Amino acid sequence: MNKTKKFATMYMVQAAIIAALYVAVNYAQELILPTSSIGPVQFRVSEILCTLALFIPSAIPGLTVGCLLSNIVAVGVLPLDMILGTLATFLAAVCAYYLRKVKLFSVPLLSMLMPVIFNGVIIGLEIEIFFIEGAFTFTGFLLQSGLVALGELGVCIVLGIPFFLMLKKLPVLKQ
């Protein structure tokens, strides 16, 4: 097998494993704490895997597919959320990957904030427009965005920084 095919195969396998992990973690969370990964305050533990985008580019399609599959099997997730949630995860993973070298105290904090920002804005906007009765208000949008971002902040920063520091020590993921 030539190098290009070997690299492409490895990329696809890594992406598939990340997608499977995302779905498995999300599914396990839903079994233990039903609806904790959907709604205004989402504490989706599988989002900790966004940290992998700081190490390997195959995390981008892996996270995207994992999010889509998780949203497809989740109870209460509408088709629009499947699309917008997946889009938010994709954009966050791409930006996290490209910003990974920007560090504060040796931690790529800006990269780790990408899921917080994209999910907060996109899902917050979706909730305010489609799930809140009455006319759209900017205050309502800020509230919904803040609630979504709060859950993401808990996973991506509070859990994500120790996870990043642990991953950084693994020889296979050395940057």
What is the C-alpha separation between 97 and 27, in angstroms, rounded? 26
Provide the domain count of the chain. 1
C-alpha angle 117/121/122, rounded to 5°? 115
DSSP bridge partners of 104: 107
What is the C-alpha separation between 81 and 103, in angstroms, rounded? 32
What is the C-alpha separation between 124 and 97, in angstroms, rounded? 23
What mean pLDDT, rounded, does the chain reach?
91
Torsion angle (degrees, nearest 10) of CA 162, 165, 167, 169: -140
CATH at residue 33: 1.10.1760
- Tell me the per-residue pLDDT of 45-75, one tens digit each, with 9 for 90 and over: 999 999 999 999 999 999 999 999 998 887 6
- Residue of 143, 152, 111, 150 lying closest to 125 (CA atoms): 143
Mutual angle of helices 79-98 and 109-130, in 10-degree steps: 160
Domain ranges, residue 105: 3-173
Say whether pTM exceeds 0.85.
yes
Tokens for 84?
């917008």
Q: Please determine, for residue 174, whether its predicted confidence score (pLDDT) is greater than 70.
A: no
Which own/partner contact pairs does 14-18 have at CB distance under 8 Å and 24+ positions apart?
14/56, 14/58, 14/59, 14/62, 15/58, 15/59, 15/60, 15/61, 15/62, 15/65, 16/62, 16/65, 17/62, 18/49, 18/52, 18/58, 18/59, 18/62, 18/63, 18/66
What confidence tier does 6 reach under pLDDT thresholds 50, 70, 90?
confident
What confidence tier does 39 reach under pLDDT thresholds 50, 70, 90?
low
